[in-house]
């Protein structure tokens, strides 16, 4: 797990919770209707914008952000230099013994094609196609979270407008105006928090 992501995520939510508790009564900041409007509303719009099979992977996308196990690029460079030296010294076929020790399937594929005598231009084309497909898949997955970050504040505003209409319909009861305004504003808060403390940073 990336330490920076963990510190940022926990720090952000601890700060928010501290602010809510410090505000007096944390119950003031909880409204079921507002949560449903923001969370369910923005989620349903994301289903409109992306194929269901992609949206259903949202939890695994978030999980992969937290539990990504990336190797430093310098380690890969050093490994490639070592393989080049082995191939130059002992021949390209000698790399076959090293393939079983490599964890990265992308590197394994490239080395296996080289050992099999595949034309270098074809190896490059195949691996570039794989990279393009990988980037496209990641961009699509990122797009789901981007969309959630865009629509959550919009549904927060929609919920606020609904709450204001309801409040204005009950202007004959002055005592209900304050609580009604508070509930209306909660949806804006939920939308901003969902976008800026969850979807967009991830």
Q: Is 99 helix (H, G, I), strand (E, B) or coil?
A: helix
pTM of this prediction? 0.74
Task: Provide φ and ψ at 13, rounded to 5°.
Answer: -70, -35
Where do we find the tokens 């981007």? 146
52 alpha carbon, distance to own chain's centre: 16
- Range in 57-61, 67-71, 82-86 with the lowest mean pLDDT: 67-71
CA atoms within 13 A on the CB side of 39: 9
Encoded tokens for 22: 């410090």
HEC sequence for 146-182 = HHHHHHHHHHHHHHHHHHHHHHHCCCCCHHHHHHHHH
Q: Residue 55: pLDDT above 90?
A: no
Region 99-126: mean pLDDT is 88
Q: Which of 22-31, 51-60, 166-175, 186-195 has the lowest mean pLDDT?
A: 166-175
State the chain's mean pLDDT as an integer: 87
Q: How high is the pLDDT of residue 1? A: 66
Residue 29 pLDDT greater than 70, yes or no: yes
Q: How confident is the model at residue 4 (pLDDT cuts 50, 70, 90)?
A: confident
pLDDT at 73 over 70: yes
Q: What is the pLDDT of residues 176-201, one digit of tens each?
A: 677 778 778 899 999 999 999 999 99
Q: Is the pLDDT of residue 8 over 70?
A: yes
User: Please, which pLDDT band fits residue 164 given cuts at 50, 70 and 90?
Assistant: confident
Question: Is pLDDT above 80 for 154?
Answer: yes
Q: Which residue has the tokens 């270098």?
A: 120
The larger pLDDT score, comparing residue 68 to residue 105, is at 105
């Amino acid at each position: 797990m990336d330490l920076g992501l963990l510190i940022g995520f926990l720090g952000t939510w601890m700060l928010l919770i501290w602010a809510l508790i410090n505000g007096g009564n944390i119950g003031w900041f909880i409204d079921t209707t507002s949560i449903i409007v923001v969370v369910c509303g923005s989620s349903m719009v994301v289903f409109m914008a992306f194929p269901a099979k992609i949206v259903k992977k949202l939890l695994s996308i978030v999980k992969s952000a937290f539990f990504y196990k990336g190797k430093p690029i310098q380690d890969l460079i050093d490994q490639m230099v070592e393989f080049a030296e082995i191939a130059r010294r002992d021949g390209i076929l000698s790399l076959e013994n090293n393939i079983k020790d490599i964890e990265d399937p992308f590197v394994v594929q490239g080395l296996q094609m080289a050992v099999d005598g595949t034309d270098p231009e074809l190896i490059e084309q195949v691996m570039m196609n794989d990279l393009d497909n990988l980037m496209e898949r990641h961009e699509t997955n990122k797009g789901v979270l981007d969309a959630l970050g865009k629509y959550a504040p919009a549904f927060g505003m929609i919920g606020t407008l609904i709450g204001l209409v309801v409040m204005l319909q009950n202007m004959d009861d002055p005592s209900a105006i304050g609580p009604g305004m508070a509930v209306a504003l909660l949806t804006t808060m939920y939308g901003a928090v969902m976008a800026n403390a969850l979807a967009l940073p991830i």
